[in-house]
A = this chain, B = another copy of it.
Amino acid sequence: MSEVVILSQEEVKSCLSISDAIKAVTEAHKAFTKGRVELPPVVHLNVEKYRGEVDIKSGFVEDFGLIGTKIASGFYDNPKLGLPSGIAVIILMDLKTSIPLAIMDGTYITAIRTGAAGAVAASVLARKDSKRVGVIGAGTQARMQVLALKELFSLEQVKVYNIRETGSKKYASEMSQRLGIEVKAVSSAKEAVSDVDIVVTVTPSKKTLIMNEWIQEGVHINAIGADAPGKQELDPTIMKRAKIVVDSLKQCREIGEIQHALSQGLIKESDVHAEIGEILIGKKRGRTTEKEITLFDSTGMAVQDIAASNVVYQLAKKRGMGHLVKLL
């Protein structure tokens, strides 16, 4: 029996650039739309006693010949113990035999594939000349989203608003260095989303943070934060004005930003323009006018994890990286 390779977060990072993650996520959405992917329902475990939750996302992708399982957690008291609040492990198995091939840190992969998904959506939904980005939230994913957008757009300015000012100030100083452009902490959500081309929302919010009247014509919105029942960042009436694109309709109607507009009857499922994969394979169109408002509802899919971890696995194998261990 062959051995399984164990890859640490550091090794994973060295094997996955943002541009490769963008390519992998693009392939993931195309494979999904072509029906070459099987994704069972996400398992959700609530560990209320320790303010934690665990999601298990799994599936298989014929194009990559892989079965993938990601166990991802959010434990919100971990930082008090000096531990990361989000942890993930990914297990890849051969699709033909189920033999385990690789076990790797999935924390970084989750972060980078989510950033990549936002950039991929913006590439077909935002105006090509988008220069200014408004970000709500100042955590890891608020960083990833903008780093990935920078790969595809000639960004000139980023404004960031966070509920705690220390967070947005730290973000501004760190990200202005990393991006080499102006990154400004602003004092209201309204200011962050005014006079920008792309709005990115990346918070754990459960109520409206962005009002409809603040959103100007021609703007693209990446709605990243809402990925569980009850989570919400946008005034649901924005959905009535926007061309809505989702990663997976099946997921977004339950756990995405659109859950609220749907349950309030402001939109119907048929008002959702497309799943992003349908645009990427050319079956549907992305942005068609300068003035339309576009919105991408991102909930995160196992197929993105499998595609990104496959890039890591292939490159690590080529480089002879990781620990080989006998499991079976």
Binding site for B on A (CB under 8 A): 1, 6, 8-10, 38, 40-41, 43-47, 49-50, 52, 54, 56, 58-60, 62, 67, 69, 71, 73, 75, 78, 81, 83-84, 87, 89, 91, 93, 95-100, 103-105, 107, 323, 325-328
Q: How far is the CB of A243 from chain B (nearest CB, A)?
A: 34
* Contact A98-B69, Cβ < 8 Å, known A44-B40, A325-B325: no
Q: Which of chain B's residues have a CB closer than 8 A to the CB of A73?
A: 93, 98
Chain B residue with Cβ nearest A8: B326
Question: Are the CB atoms of B58 and A56 closer together than 8 Å?
Answer: yes
Most buried by B among A41, A73, A326, A327: A327
Question: Are the CB atoms of A45 and B71 closer together than 8 Å?
Answer: no
Known A38-B45, A45-B60, A323-B323; 9 more pairs at CB < 8 Å: A6-B325, A8-B325, A8-B328, A40-B43, A43-B43, A47-B95, A47-B98, A89-B327, A325-B325
Q: How far is the CB of A263 from chain B (nearest CB, A)?
A: 23
Question: Are the CB atoms of A69 and B56 closer together than 8 Å?
Answer: yes
Chain B residue with Cβ nearest A100: B89
Chain B residue with Cβ nearest A73: B98
Question: Are the CB atoms of A81 and B67 closer together than 8 Å?
Answer: no
Question: With A and B bound together, what is the CA distance between A319 and B223 in angstroms?
Answer: 50
Question: Are the CB atoms of A91 and B78 closer together than 8 Å?
Answer: no
Question: With A and B bound together, what is the CA distance between A69 and B327 in angstroms?
Answer: 16
Question: With A and B bound together, what is the CA distance between A47 and B61 in angstroms?
Answer: 10
Chain B residue with Cβ nearest A65: B50
Q: How far is the CB of A106 from chain B (nearest CB, A)?
A: 9
Question: With A and B bound together, what is the CA distance between A62 and B60 in angstroms?
Answer: 32
Q: How far is the CB of A7 from chain B (nearest CB, A)?
A: 8
> Which single member of B52, B75, B327 contacts A9 (CB below 8 Å)?
B327
Question: Are the CB atoms of A52 and B98 closer together than 8 Å?
Answer: yes
Q: How far is the CB of A57 from chain B (nearest CB, A)?
A: 10
* A-B contacts, 12 listed (Cβ < 8 Å): A6-B325, A8-B325, A10-B326, A43-B56, A50-B95, A52-B97, A54-B93, A71-B93, A73-B93, A73-B98, A104-B327, A325-B325
> Which single member of B78, B81, B91, B323 contacts A325 (CB below 8 Å)?
B323
* Contact A328-B105, Cβ < 8 Å, known A40-B45, A75-B98, A98-B73: yes
